[in-house]
Amino acid sequence: MSRFGSGLLAFAILGVALGATSAKEPRMSTEKVLVEEVERLHQLFEAWFTGRSVDFDAVKDALAPDFELIAPSGMRHVRTPLLERLRAARGAWPEGARITVRAVRARRVGPNLHLVTYEEWHHPVGESPRGRLSSALFEWPREGAERPLWLHVHETWLPETSDAPE
């Protein structure tokens, strides 16, 4: 085997050892998967609340059966009543309202468990943005699943003096 050929073979073996699906297609890092999931779900929320989306299943499927949200007010919301309220809120925001997510950080806290913190900003039309600092617990990877599962979210208001994104 030529020196060039053995180098390619070593690269392919290294890629497989590091979790790549092939030498050309490396598997996404856990952190990248989690960051993209946080962004994806908030894009779905924005599309739902502004009435641009009619597909609620993607939101419903993201949340664990025993999912719990602790809102900035301190109120606890469990999955089924929360989903009912979210479903009823389709189109409640005017077109142009936005949700942005930034400062996403992930860390592993146990086998297949990851804690992700992020800032979530709501940009109502004609009003100043309002931010919250959120912590979300995810299960990932999961057998046969394409996406992480949201287990728990805890939100708290950011100070109004926080540096809001544009």
Residue 11 lies in a domain: no
CA dist list (Å): 4 to 8, 9, 11, 13, 25: 6, 9, 11, 14, 20
Residue 104 lies in a domain: yes
CA dist list (Å): 44 to 73, 89, 97, 98, 161: 23, 13, 13, 11, 28
Q: What is 68-80 written as a DSSP string?
A: EEE-TTS-EEEHH
Domain housing 93: 29-157
50: its two tokens: 């502004």
Residue 5 lies in a domain: no
Q: Give Rg (Cα) of the chain.
A: 20
CA distance 30 to 11: 21
Length of the chain: 166
Residue 115 lies in a domain: yes
Residue 65 lies in a domain: yes
> What's the total number of domains in the chain?
1
Residue 18 lies in a domain: no
- pLDDT tens, N- to C-terminus, the chain (166 residues): 443 343 333 333 333 333 333 334 445 799 999 999 999 999 999 999 999 998 999 999 999 999 999 999 999 999 999 999 999 999 999 999 999 999 999 999 999 999 999 999 999 999 999 999 999 999 999 888 899 999 999 999 999 877 878 7
Residue 3 lies in a domain: no
CATH value at residue 125:
3.10.450.50
84: its two tokens: 């009912």
Residue 103 lies in a domain: yes
